[in-house]
Amino acid sequence: MVDTFVIPLLKIVIVLNATLVGVTYMVLLERKVIAWAQSRLGPMRVGPYGILQPVADAVKLMIKEDITPVRADKWLFTAAPIISMVPALIVYAVIPFGSEVSLFGRQVTLYITDINVGLLYVVSVASVGVYGIILAGYASNSKYPLLASLRASAQLISYEVAVTLTLVSVVVMAGSLSMVQIVNAQYNSHVWFVFAQPVAFVLVLIGGLAETNRAPFDLPEAEQELTGGFHTEYSGMRFALFFLAEYANMIVVSSVVTTLFLGGWLPPFPNVAAFGFLYYVPSWAWFLLKSFVFLYLFIWIRATLPRYRYDQLMNLGWKVLIPIAIANLVVTGIVRVLLL
Amino acid sequence: MQPPAVHHGAMFDTDELVINMGPQHPSTHGVLRVVLRLDGEKVVNADVVIGYLHRGIEKLSENRNWTQIILLTDRMDYVAAATSNVGYCETVEKLLSLEVPRRARYVRTILCELQRIASHCLWIGTHAMDIGAMTVFLYAFRERELILDLFEEYCGARLTYNSMRIGGLPLEIPPGWDKKVLEFCKIMDSKIDEYETLLTHNRIWLERTKGVGVIGGPEAVALGMCGPALRGSGVPRDVRKDEPYAAYDEMEFDVPIGTAGDTYDRYLVRIEEFRQSLRIIRQATQGIPEGPIVGKVPRLIKPPAGETYHAIESPKGELGYFIVSDGKSTNPYRFRVRPPSFCNLQALPRLVRGHLVADVVALIGSIDIVLGEVDR
């Protein structure tokens, strides 16, 4: 009873809450880091150094008037933010935040579940999130959001294929789709997959930026062109859901990249006895640290790069990423067959 | 405006999408309204609608005395007020056949070039922001702030300076001001490199600007384009060189020109203008002659009957004033401005045709307009 019901439920509650808090502080982190990059201070007013800014933001968004345009498709307009937010949260079910820990004499795994098609689950659920954007643009019955949703669909087909093909080569390396098994495979093969699969790593990183609609691929929102894009007509909490979904997706992508390429919860040099002291740092701390590196990278990129045009993104996806992904997969397969 | 065209295809009929960009839009640099006709995201045609910031400056000027008009010229190109001031004052001086002391002409040159850098800072910031590079905006504003501080020290204002008088300058430069200007030049040198690091060789920047909005020299001339937008197309027309005013005939500087006439070349031209402006400022600041700052201006300014046209090179291009005096009253009989932004803006429909929505904002940025000047 406790193992099958209470503990998983507790884990779900903890992960959901931690994610939402993490997401709001992600927003603050982004504002701070970008401000520092731009020689500004960022939020400074709410709390010391602005650390209570997320609270103020959340309160503001919740008490704002929620407007549905008269000519909008009411059902889809309401559903779109939910379709965007829910996949971003349920992906966390399979992400291994750490190995086992013992709590009150009970061995507890630091992931909600470990299904044997974990990676497939991540990829498929994450791509559902894009429907939120497409439907939001369509349901708003407004021209700029419509253009944004066209862009979102164009973007989806450009990078999704490349990313999924690339992930296959990781699966070939690990021999499993389970996220936990992939980490274990990195332990057993004595090398993080970022060194074994550098090309795949870069491809997934680029694809991850596109997946989360982050700069330089933030075409569907493109404030300067489409005045906010798909969420132009949204306000209050519904807008906040899109916003939170974007940041939740950022954390998902960082976590997935960490799991697949940086050995997840493993410390550096997991098999070298001389570095055994690194095991004193808890596994979840390593995981968070590695994920944080990627989150920081995403913010850094946003502060640095201009935005792609959407035909250029499609060119990049179809003419560069997909051929490289296929070549990488073929080479990985050949090497794998020859070595085993 | 005609209704959207319907294209009859083999399987589906497709409509053109008419989309209204502005007057409230983050990237139209003020209250510009562009009515775009789109095929997908491709621009089939664009109508530029102006007039949202019309304040009747030309008509107002015909009812003000000659000195009061200087204030109104501030409000035209409000990000480059000093050059507007200089242009107007020189036009009236030409009407009066007034000799301006050399010291005043030197200070005018310095102020004009500082203004050009400030205006280009605003341009590079907003242009890069339109294309999605948000950091350049803050960097450029940081340096613009230094220039505004210099202006504040000189004339007390930070935006609308009223910094010229007919026949010379209103104020002597404050002691030590020239040193601060030179210090600013030193800072600015490295900052231009900083902008270039972020943009010039950036792959995404290149892809977004190269080959976008290509216009050849003759066509640009035919459309009445001027300033950096024209020089980007390879036409070496610069009023500072061709018809020197202020102290430009004593300055050494180059006029950078582009080759391809695309957005990237217009960008490079302005980046090089930053450097040339610094060169001019250095020469002028180090060589400010002693002497009076105001010429022999009559107590009551009442130019003899006649008309004149005088143009200067504002940061946006050729800013010309056409003024008719009837010789009897203390205000102009006719006051007409040839604003560079207005003339460049009429090239916009030609430039955006066939490009995507994302390029429209890049092109609005690349011709560098100020709506205060377009609508007057």
Residue A118 is predicted with a pLDDT of 83
pLDDT tens readout for residues A7-62: 778 888 888 888 888 888 888 888 888 888 888 888 888 878 888 888 888 888 88
Question: pLDDT for B95-109, tens place per residue?
Answer: 888 888 988 989 999
A225 touches chain B (CB under 8 A): yes
At B250 the pLDDT is 87
- DSSP annotation string for A217-271: S-TTT-HHHHTTGGGTT--HHHHHHHHHHHHHHHHHHHHHHHHHHS-TTPPSSTT
Query: E strand or H helix at A181, and its extent?
Result: helix A179-188
User: Tens digit of pLDDT for each residue in A242-289?
Assistant: 888 888 888 888 888 888 888 878 777 777 777 777 777 777 888 888
Q: Is a pLDDT exceeding 80 seen at residue A1? A: no
**pLDDT of A127:** 82
Structure tokens at A113: 């579940």
Phi-psi region of B339 (alpha: psi -120 to 50; beta: other; left: phi over 0): beta
Whether the CB of A215 is below 8 Å from some CB of chain B: the reply is yes
Q: Is the pLDDT of residue A102 over 80?
A: no
Q: Which residues of B touch A40 (CB under 8 A)?
A: 138
pLDDT band at residue A144, thresholds of 50, 70 and 90?
confident
Element (H, E) at A281: none
Question: What type of residue is B318?
Answer: E
Distance from CA of B354 to the nearest CA of A (A): 13
The residues with which A336 forms a beta bridge, in sequence order, are none
Checking B53-56 for CB contacts under 8 A at 24+ apart, the result is B53/B371, B53/B372, B53/B374, B53/B375, B54/B375, B54/B376, B55/B375, B55/B376, B56/B376
Q: What is the pLDDT of residue B322?
A: 92
More confident residue, B353 or B25: B353
Interface test with B, best of A31, A224, A227 (most B CBs within 10 A): A224
Distance from CA of A163 to the nearest CA of B (A): 21
Distance CA A200, CA B164 (A): 63
- Alpha-carbon gap, residue B268 to B248, rounded angstroms: 22
Region A184-201 average pLDDT? 81
Burial classification of residue B252, based on how many CB atoms lie within 10 Å of its CB (0-12 exposed, 13-18 middle, 19 or more buried): exposed
Is residue A217 within 8 angstroms of chain B, CB to CB? no
Give me the mean pLDDT over the B103-126 stretch.
90
- B362 CB-contact burial (10 Å; exposed 0-12 / middle 13-18 / buried 19+): buried
Smallest CA-to-CA distance from B263 within B361, B362, B342 is with: B362
What's the pTM? 0.84
* Closest C-alpha among A126, A135, A127 to residue A72: A135
Return the closest-CA partner of residue A209 out of A321, A319, A289: A321
Predicted local confidence at residue B321, as pLDDT: 92
pLDDT at residue B1 above 60?
Answer: no
Q: What pLDDT digit, counting tens, does each position of B329-364 carry? A: 888 898 899 989 998 888 888 888 888 888 888 888
pLDDT at B28: 73
Name which residue leads in pLDDT, A125 or A190: A125
Residue A298: closest CA among A179, A192, A228, A217: A217
- Interchain CB distance below 8 Å, A310 and B27: no
Going by C-beta distance under 8 Å and a sequence separation of 6 or more, which residues neighbour residue A58?
A24, A240
Compare CB distances from B129 to A144, A224, A304 and report the shortest one's residue.
A224
A304 closest CB neighbour out of B17, B198, B356: B198
The band of B117, judged by pLDDT with boundaries at 50, 70 and 90, is: very high
pLDDT confidence of residue B51 = 85
Which of B226, B199, B38 is closest to B130 using CA atoms?
Answer: B199
Mean pLDDT (whole number) for B276-292: 89
Cβ distance B136 to B199 under 8 Å?
yes
**Mean pLDDT of the B260-270 span:** 89
Evaluate whether B139 touches A304 at the Cβ level (below 8 Å).
no
Rounded mean pLDDT, B104-117: 91
B18 to chain A: nearest residue by CA?
A143
Chain A hits for B187, CB-CB cut-off 8 Å, are none
Interface of A with B in 245-304 (CB under 8 A): 302-304
Chain B residues in contact with chain A using a Cβ-Cβ cutoff of 8 Å: 17, 19-20, 25-27, 38, 40-41, 128-135, 137-139, 142, 198-199, 202, 204-205, 207-208, 356-361
Using one digit for the tens of pLDDT, what is the confidence trace for B9-20? 666 777 778 888
A226 and chain B in contact, CB less than 8 A = yes
Subunit contact B134:A38, Cβ cutoff 8 A:
yes
Cis peptide, bond prior to residue A87, ω within 30 of zero: no
Other Cβ atoms closer than 10 A to A14? 11
Residues of chain B above pLDDT 90, percent: 12
pLDDT tens string B204-215: 888 888 888 888
How far is the C-alpha of B46 from the C-alpha of B21, rounded, in Å? 10
pLDDT in tens, B137-156: 889 998 999 999 999 998 88
Burial status of residue A46 (CB atoms within 10 A of its CB: 0-12, 13-18, 19 or more): middle
Q: How confident is the model at residue B7 (pLDDT cuts 50, 70, 90)?
A: low
Tell me if ipTM is over 0.85: no
Amino acid at A185: A
Question: Does the CB of A320 have a partner CB in chain B at under 8 Å?
Answer: no
Average pLDDT value for chain A: 83
Contact A225 B208 (CB under 8 A): no
| Alpha-carbon distances, residue A243 vs A8, A27, A133, A157, A254 (angstroms) | 28, 9, 11, 22, 17
